């Protein structure tokens, strides 16, 4: 029995994987995953995997309305109702005495989402419309959220309102084949706090979508911000995600299958979206400015020292993070980002351009 460490955190054994089955109004969803692996602090077993096996979407009690506090992004659609059909999670351990009870965790949620009204002739089975739907996740309050920043010199007399992005996304967007089914996939890099997020979307109706979202949280000493947490790789967490998604099969109900059959997709047409050059530059500045949060650089005075990382190191991390990395079964993948000079030429189908509510991120690069 090997022990994990920061470079190689130990997750659950795949040999213990068992079948998970869900029936959503006749649509069958099957996958395999290990049992919940809780830790003593954040990941508790009692509230995971408590969802029923059968869901009747025709019942008014099944889908919960979503209360948005912002308008939807331009050129997007978003769900009005949703229900979580399966949730689980797994702790990743290290050295018991040196690393504590857990180095991190991977959580997963399978969520069925429904759009109340789509424009005429739109269907989530059409790839362009599913991409339009994915843009809805970039609402303020979700992946399009901003937070309050501060000036470079932390001047107490600076009354500028700095608003910085919470995420850099979409990253590594691609279409993936899993068991003869095509999924839209993308990632989100946190810039201040929060987990790394990974999204898989699959249509199960003209107005319904299955979202499988994974979130990786890492608990490391002297690493209280996303930049410092990179010292522990995501590799083992993503390997478990890949193992789970390699087993997922969705069998549409008869009515959903008829809806899908009514929609034509060109065999080689896989539209994608990407972040913009401006978003990348804002992300570099934001991540740099927070790179000293809950982190102690021993070469600096504990009080009053600058514990941030070198700007060039943070920029290099972002440049590496945004590189396209095809996953197994990749059908289509695009560039790391869309250059601003090309944005108008490529059009709104290419890049996700998120407007800052009050001020630009104050990029100093």
Q: Is the CB of residue 171 less than 8 Å from the CB of residue 189? A: yes
ω into 130 cis (within 30 of 0): no
CA 255/CA 257 separation, integer angstroms: 5
Residues pairing with 89 in the sheet:
107
Q: pLDDT digit of tens for each residue in the chain (365 aa)?
A: 467 788 999 999 999 999 999 999 999 999 999 999 987 666 666 678 999 999 999 999 999 999 998 888 888 999 999 999 999 999 998 777 666 678 999 999 999 999 999 999 999 999 999 999 999 999 888 999 999 988 877 666 667 788 999 999 999 999 999 999 999 999 999 999 999 999 999 999 999 999 999 999 999 988 889 999 999 999 999 999 999 999 999 999 999 999 999 999 998 999 999 999 999 999 999 999 999 987 787 778 877 777 899 999 999 999 999 999 999 999 999 899 988 655 433 444 566 655 444 344 444 33
pTM of the model: 0.92
CA 334/CA 292 separation, integer angstroms: 33
Residue 6 in domain: no
ω into 170 cis (within 30 of 0): yes
Structural domain of residue 282, as residue ranges? 14-352
Helix (H) or strand (E) segment spanning residue 202: strand 196-203
Residue 91 in domain: yes
Q: Is the CB of residue 47 less than 8 Å from the CB of residue 36? A: no
Residue 207 in domain: yes
Sheet of strand 274-276, all strands in order from the earlier edge strand to the far edge: 337-338, 274-276, 351-352
Residues pairing with 27 in the sheet:
24
Residue 327 in domain: yes
CA angle 130, 134, 140 (to 5 degrees): 155
Residue 137 in domain: yes
Q: Over the Cα atoms of the chain, what is R_g?
A: 21
Domain count, the chain: 1
Residue 359 in domain: no
Residue 162 in domain: yes
């Amino acid at each position: 029995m090997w022990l994990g460490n920061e470079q190689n955190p130990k997750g659950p054994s795949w040999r213990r994987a068992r079948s998970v089955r869900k029936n959503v109004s006749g649509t069958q969803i099957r996958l395999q995953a290990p049992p919940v692996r809780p830790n003593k602090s954040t990941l508790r077993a009692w509230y995971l995997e408590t969802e029923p096996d059968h869901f009747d979407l025709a019942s008014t009690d099944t889908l919960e309305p979503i209360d948005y506090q912002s308008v939807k992004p331009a050129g997007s659609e978003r769900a009005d109702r949703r229900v979580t059909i399966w949730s689980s999670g797994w702790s990743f351990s290290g050295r018991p005495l040196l690393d504590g009870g857990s180095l991190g965790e991977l959580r997963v949620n399978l969520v069925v989402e429904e759009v109340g009204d789509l424009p005429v002739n739109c269907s989530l089975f059409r790839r362009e419309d599913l991409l339009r739907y994915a843009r809805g996740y970039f609402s303020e309050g979700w992946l399009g959220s901003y937070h309050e920043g501060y000036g470079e010199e932390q001047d107490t007399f600076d009354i500028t309102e700095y608003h910085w992005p919470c995420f850099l996304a979409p990253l590594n967007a691609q279409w993936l084949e899993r068991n003869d089914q095509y999924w839209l996939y993308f990632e989100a890099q946190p810039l201040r706090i929060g987990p790394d997020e990974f999204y898989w979307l699959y249509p199960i109706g003209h107005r319904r979508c299955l979202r499988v979202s994974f979130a990786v949280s890492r608990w490391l000493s002297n690493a209280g911000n996303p930049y410092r947490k990179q010292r522990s790789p995501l590799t083992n967490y993503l390997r478990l995600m890949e193992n789970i998604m390699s087993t997922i099969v969705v069998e549409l109900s008869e009515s959903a299958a008829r809806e899908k059959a009514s929609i034509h997709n060109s065999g080689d047409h896989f539209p994608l979206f990407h972040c913009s050059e401006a978003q990348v530059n804002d992300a570099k500045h934001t991540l740099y400015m927070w790179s000293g949060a809950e982190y102690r650089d021993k070469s600096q005075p504990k009080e009053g020292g600058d514990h941030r990382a070198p700007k060039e190191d943070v920029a290099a991390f972002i440049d590496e993070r945004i590189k396209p990395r095809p996953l197994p079964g990749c059908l289509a993948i695009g560039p790391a980002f869309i250059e601003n000079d090309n944005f108008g030429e490529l059009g709104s189908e290419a890049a996700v351009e998120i407007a800052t509510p009050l001020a630009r991120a104050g990029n100093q690069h």
